[in-house]
Structure 1
Amino acid sequence: MAALSPSERRLMKELMSLMKEPPPGVTVDGDQASQNLTLWTVHMEGVPGTLYEGEKFVLQFKFTNKYPFDSPEVSILS
Protein backbone atom coordinates (compact mmCIF):
# COMPACT_ATOMS: atom_id res chain seq x y z
CA MET A 1 0.00 0.00 0.00
CA ALA A 2 1.31 3.44 -0.91
CA ALA A 3 2.13 5.91 1.83
CA LEU A 4 -0.55 8.44 2.69
CA SER A 5 -0.14 11.98 1.42
CA PRO A 6 -0.09 14.82 3.97
CA SER A 7 -3.70 15.60 3.05
CA GLU A 8 -4.77 11.98 3.54
CA ARG A 9 -2.95 11.78 6.89
CA ARG A 10 -4.78 14.90 8.05
CA LEU A 11 -8.14 13.52 6.88
CA MET A 12 -7.49 10.20 8.62
CA LYS A 13 -6.61 11.97 11.87
CA GLU A 14 -9.74 14.14 11.71
CA LEU A 15 -11.96 11.19 10.78
CA MET A 16 -10.70 9.11 13.70
CA SER A 17 -11.21 12.04 16.08
CA LEU A 18 -14.73 12.65 14.79
CA MET A 19 -15.65 8.99 15.10
CA LYS A 20 -14.12 8.66 18.58
CA GLU A 21 -15.64 11.83 20.06
CA PRO A 22 -18.40 13.11 17.75
CA PRO A 23 -20.27 16.30 18.56
CA PRO A 24 -23.80 15.66 19.85
CA GLY A 25 -26.14 14.60 17.03
CA VAL A 26 -23.36 14.05 14.48
CA THR A 27 -22.22 10.72 13.00
CA VAL A 28 -19.91 9.92 10.10
CA ASP A 29 -20.26 6.88 7.87
CA GLY A 30 -16.87 5.46 8.78
CA ASP A 31 -17.14 2.46 6.44
CA GLN A 32 -17.65 4.69 3.42
CA ALA A 33 -14.95 7.14 4.50
CA SER A 34 -12.44 4.33 5.04
CA GLN A 35 -13.04 3.12 1.46
CA ASN A 36 -12.67 6.64 0.04
CA LEU A 37 -10.98 9.05 2.45
CA THR A 38 -11.91 12.07 0.32
CA LEU A 39 -15.67 11.41 0.42
CA TRP A 40 -17.53 11.52 3.74
CA THR A 41 -21.24 11.14 4.46
CA VAL A 42 -22.22 12.92 7.67
CA HIS A 43 -25.57 12.51 9.44
CA MET A 44 -26.72 15.41 11.61
CA GLU A 45 -29.70 15.86 13.89
CA GLY A 46 -31.26 19.27 14.45
CA VAL A 47 -30.28 20.87 17.74
CA PRO A 48 -32.96 20.64 20.48
CA GLY A 49 -34.60 23.96 21.25
CA THR A 50 -34.06 25.33 17.74
CA LEU A 51 -36.17 25.52 14.61
CA TYR A 52 -34.33 22.39 13.39
CA GLU A 53 -35.18 20.20 16.40
CA GLY A 54 -36.34 16.77 15.22
CA GLU A 55 -34.92 17.25 11.73
CA LYS A 56 -32.31 14.92 10.24
CA PHE A 57 -29.80 16.00 7.63
CA VAL A 58 -27.40 14.02 5.46
CA LEU A 59 -24.39 15.93 4.16
CA GLN A 60 -21.69 14.83 1.74
CA PHE A 61 -18.19 16.25 2.10
CA LYS A 62 -15.77 16.01 -0.85
CA PHE A 63 -12.16 16.83 -0.03
CA THR A 64 -9.41 17.66 -2.52
CA ASN A 65 -5.74 16.75 -2.24
CA LYS A 66 -5.14 20.37 -1.16
CA TYR A 67 -7.03 19.90 2.11
CA PRO A 68 -6.77 21.56 4.68
CA PHE A 69 -5.71 24.55 2.61
CA ASP A 70 -8.71 24.09 0.30
CA SER A 71 -12.21 23.81 1.76
CA PRO A 72 -14.29 20.71 1.10
CA GLU A 73 -17.30 20.82 -1.20
CA VAL A 74 -20.39 20.19 0.93
CA SER A 75 -23.71 18.99 -0.50
CA ILE A 76 -27.01 18.38 1.31
CA LEU A 77 -28.31 14.97 0.29
CA SER A 78 -31.46 15.08 2.43
Structure 2
Amino acid sequence: MASISSRRLSKELKELNTECPAGIKLVEASNFDKWILGIEVLGDSLYKGESFLLKFTFDPGYPISAPAVQFVVDSEHEAPLHPHVYSNGHICASILGDAWSPVLSVSAVCITLQSMLASCKKKERPEGNDRYVRFAPENPKKTKFLYDDDTV
Protein backbone atom coordinates (compact mmCIF):
# COMPACT_ATOMS: atom_id res chain seq x y z
CA MET A 1 0.00 0.00 0.00
CA ALA A 2 1.34 3.43 -0.94
CA SER A 3 2.09 5.85 1.86
CA ILE A 4 0.32 9.18 2.29
CA SER A 5 3.55 10.88 1.25
CA SER A 6 3.99 8.92 -1.98
CA ARG A 7 0.30 9.31 -2.93
CA ARG A 8 0.48 13.07 -2.37
CA LEU A 9 3.78 13.43 -4.25
CA SER A 10 2.44 11.33 -7.12
CA LYS A 11 -0.57 13.66 -7.39
CA GLU A 12 1.60 16.78 -7.27
CA LEU A 13 4.03 15.38 -9.84
CA LYS A 14 1.17 14.62 -12.23
CA GLU A 15 -0.09 18.21 -11.85
CA LEU A 16 3.40 19.66 -12.41
CA ASN A 17 3.85 17.53 -15.53
CA THR A 18 0.54 18.64 -17.02
CA GLU A 19 0.13 22.22 -15.81
CA CYS A 20 3.15 23.95 -14.29
CA PRO A 21 2.50 27.51 -13.08
CA ALA A 22 4.01 30.32 -15.19
CA GLY A 23 7.73 30.80 -14.54
CA ILE A 24 8.11 27.37 -12.91
CA LYS A 25 9.63 24.36 -14.63
CA LEU A 26 10.02 20.80 -13.40
CA VAL A 27 13.66 19.89 -14.06
CA GLU A 28 14.07 16.58 -12.26
CA ALA A 29 11.76 14.32 -10.29
CA SER A 30 12.97 10.78 -10.76
CA ASN A 31 11.91 9.74 -7.24
CA PHE A 32 9.94 10.95 -4.24
CA ASP A 33 13.04 11.93 -2.25
CA LYS A 34 14.30 14.93 -4.19
CA TRP A 35 12.93 17.20 -6.91
CA ILE A 36 14.58 20.07 -8.76
CA LEU A 37 12.46 22.90 -10.12
CA GLY A 38 13.44 25.96 -12.11
CA ILE A 39 12.02 29.28 -11.00
CA GLU A 40 11.91 32.58 -12.83
CA VAL A 41 10.39 35.82 -11.60
CA LEU A 42 7.82 37.16 -14.03
CA GLY A 43 7.25 40.83 -14.74
CA ASP A 44 9.46 43.77 -14.01
CA SER A 45 11.63 43.09 -10.95
CA LEU A 46 15.22 43.21 -9.77
CA TYR A 47 15.53 39.60 -10.98
CA LYS A 48 14.26 40.16 -14.53
CA GLY A 49 15.94 37.70 -16.89
CA GLU A 50 17.42 35.61 -14.06
CA SER A 51 16.46 32.04 -13.27
CA PHE A 52 17.26 29.83 -10.31
CA LEU A 53 16.97 26.20 -9.31
CA LEU A 54 15.18 25.02 -6.19
CA LYS A 55 15.83 21.67 -4.56
CA PHE A 56 12.96 20.08 -2.65
CA THR A 57 13.88 17.20 -0.36
CA PHE A 58 10.97 15.19 1.04
CA ASP A 59 10.91 13.02 4.14
CA PRO A 60 8.33 10.27 4.77
CA GLY A 61 6.23 12.72 6.83
CA TYR A 62 5.39 14.94 3.85
CA PRO A 63 2.88 16.67 3.55
CA ILE A 64 2.41 16.81 7.32
CA SER A 65 6.03 17.94 7.62
CA ALA A 66 7.47 20.61 5.33
CA PRO A 67 9.93 19.67 2.63
CA ALA A 68 13.48 20.96 2.94
CA VAL A 69 13.70 23.64 0.26
CA GLN A 70 16.79 25.53 -0.83
CA PHE A 71 18.23 27.21 -3.88
CA VAL A 72 20.76 25.06 -5.72
CA VAL A 73 24.28 26.43 -5.32
CA ASP A 74 27.01 24.74 -7.35
CA SER A 75 29.56 25.57 -10.06
CA GLU A 76 26.74 26.56 -12.45
CA HIS A 77 24.09 28.02 -10.13
CA GLU A 78 23.93 30.70 -7.48
CA ALA A 79 21.31 31.63 -4.93
CA PRO A 80 19.60 34.94 -5.61
CA LEU A 81 20.88 37.97 -3.73
CA HIS A 82 17.98 38.54 -1.37
CA PRO A 83 17.62 39.57 2.29
CA HIS A 84 16.05 36.18 3.13
CA VAL A 85 18.33 33.93 1.04
CA TYR A 86 21.76 32.89 2.29
CA SER A 87 24.62 32.35 -0.12
CA ASN A 88 24.47 28.58 0.52
CA GLY A 89 20.88 28.57 -0.82
CA HIS A 90 19.06 28.33 2.52
CA ILE A 91 15.85 30.34 2.63
CA CYS A 92 14.45 32.07 5.69
CA ALA A 93 10.73 31.84 4.96
CA SER A 94 8.10 31.00 7.54
CA ILE A 95 6.13 28.74 5.15
CA LEU A 96 9.14 26.42 5.16
CA GLY A 97 9.13 26.30 8.94
CA ASP A 98 6.63 27.40 11.58
CA ALA A 99 3.93 28.44 9.10
CA TRP A 100 4.03 25.23 7.04
CA SER A 101 0.61 23.70 6.40
CA PRO A 102 -0.19 20.36 4.73
CA VAL A 103 -2.47 22.23 2.31
CA LEU A 104 0.62 23.84 0.77
CA SER A 105 2.18 22.14 -2.23
CA VAL A 106 5.40 22.28 -4.21
CA SER A 107 3.68 24.66 -6.66
CA ALA A 108 2.46 26.89 -3.83
CA VAL A 109 5.97 27.09 -2.37
CA CYS A 110 7.42 28.00 -5.78
CA ILE A 111 4.79 30.69 -6.35
CA THR A 112 5.43 32.12 -2.87
CA LEU A 113 9.17 32.25 -3.53
CA GLN A 114 8.53 33.91 -6.89
CA SER A 115 6.49 36.53 -5.07
CA MET A 116 9.18 36.96 -2.41
CA LEU A 117 11.76 37.65 -5.12
CA ALA A 118 9.42 39.88 -7.15
CA SER A 119 8.74 42.13 -4.15
CA CYS A 120 12.42 42.55 -3.26
CA LYS A 121 13.52 46.20 -3.12
CA LYS A 122 17.28 45.69 -2.71
CA LYS A 123 19.55 42.84 -3.71
CA GLU A 124 21.56 41.97 -0.61
CA ARG A 125 22.40 39.00 1.59
CA PRO A 126 20.89 38.56 5.06
CA GLU A 127 22.75 40.06 7.98
CA GLY A 128 25.27 37.53 9.27
CA ASN A 129 25.37 35.57 6.00
CA ASP A 130 29.05 34.58 6.26
CA ARG A 131 28.74 33.37 9.84
CA TYR A 132 25.51 31.49 9.12
CA VAL A 133 26.97 29.75 6.06
CA ARG A 134 30.10 28.77 7.99
CA PHE A 135 28.09 27.03 10.75
CA ALA A 136 24.84 26.06 8.97
CA PRO A 137 23.65 22.46 8.95
CA GLU A 138 23.42 20.82 5.54
CA ASN A 139 19.65 20.46 5.91
CA PRO A 140 17.99 23.91 6.17
CA LYS A 141 15.13 22.40 8.23
CA LYS A 142 17.60 21.95 11.09
CA THR A 143 17.99 25.73 11.38
CA LYS A 144 15.64 27.51 13.78
CA PHE A 145 15.04 30.78 11.96
CA LEU A 146 13.46 33.76 13.70
CA TYR A 147 10.83 35.21 11.40
CA ASP A 148 9.87 38.90 11.13
CA ASP A 149 6.23 39.80 10.65
CA ASP A 150 6.91 40.80 7.03
CA THR A 151 8.62 37.57 5.91
CA VAL A 152 7.02 34.80 3.90
Q: Does the TM-score normalized on the shorter chain lie above 0.5?
A: yes
1:62 aligns with 2:57: yes
Structure 2 partner of 1:47: 42
1:14-57 Cα distance to aligned partner (Å, 9 max, x none): 1111221111011112xx41x32121000111222111111110
Runs (4+) off by over 3 Å: none
What secondary structure is seen at the aligned counterpart in 2 of 1:14? helix
Contact 1:19 1:27 in 2 (8 A): no
1:56 maps to amino acid: S
Aligned pairs, number: 73
CA-CA distance at 1:4 after TM superposition:
2.3
What secondary structure is seen at the aligned counterpart in 2 of 1:51? coil
Contact 1:43 1:59 in 2 (8 A): yes
What secondary structure is seen at the aligned counterpart in 1 of 2:66? coil
Structure 2 partner of 1:38: 33
1:7 aligns with 2:24: no
Contact 1:25 1:44 in 2 (8 A): yes
Q: Structure 1 or 2: larger strand share?
A: 1
1:28 maps to amino acid: L
